[in-house]
Amino acid sequence: MTDIPARRYPKVAMVLHWLLAIGVIAQWRLAVAGENAASEAAGREIMGNHFSLGVVILLLALARLAWRLVQPNPPLASDLAAWERWLAKTTHTLFYVLLIVMPLAGWYAMSKYGNGVDVFGVFSLPALPVAPDPEGASEIFGLHAAAGVALLVLAGLHILGTLKHTLVDRDGNLFRMLPFGQPRA
């Protein structure tokens, strides 16, 4: 008898994980495209999509965190080294922090410009009740961009860990987050 269901993440967690992964990649590409747009108008339109997707990512991250509180993650493999356990927990904690703080910082910075955030024309987040401060908003966006780089580095570390477990350890760890394959007990 195998214990694969106990080792695999629930399907809700899988869907939220992969939607967040796709969203982060799309955000990165939108930010680069917005900065390199051919015109100011094109840049504004691209960044409008970046802001909208940021709100969606915030909602997905909050949903993933809520799900995790209700449905804890399956246990890590018992043969992981202490440093691997620590790195896994630290990486996941930092993901949650960045995926929640970054969109909030973007909303806060937009509010300092006196703007809310339109979310794909479906709904809008109003500007937060903060004093106008374009210089402060610019500084916040600078921190937001630095956090974006940190998020990409963290994602790279996450991918490298997955590759290590898949290609070197051959422990089936990748299949914990996929609805197919054999995670090791």
- Is the model's pLDDT at 68 over the cut of 50? yes
Per-residue pLDDT tens over the stretch 142-178: 999 999 999 999 999 999 999 999 999 888 888 999 9
The mean per-residue pLDDT over the stretch 78-105 comes to 95
| Domain boundaries defined on the chain | 4-177
CA–CA dist 174, 184 (Å, integer): 10
> Tokens for 4?
């694969």
The mean per-residue pLDDT over the stretch 74-90 comes to 90
- At residue 90 the predicted structure's pLDDT band, cuts being 50, 70 and 90, is very high
CA–CA dist 53, 11 (Å, integer): 23
Q: What pLDDT score does 58 carry?
A: 98
CA–CA dist 62, 64 (Å, integer): 5
Assigned architecture for domain 4-177: Up-down Bundle (1.20)
Q: Which helix (H) or strand (E) holds 117?
A: strand 117-119
Angle between helices 40-70 and 82-112 (to 10 degrees): 130
Angle between helices 82-112 and 134-163 (to 10 degrees): 160
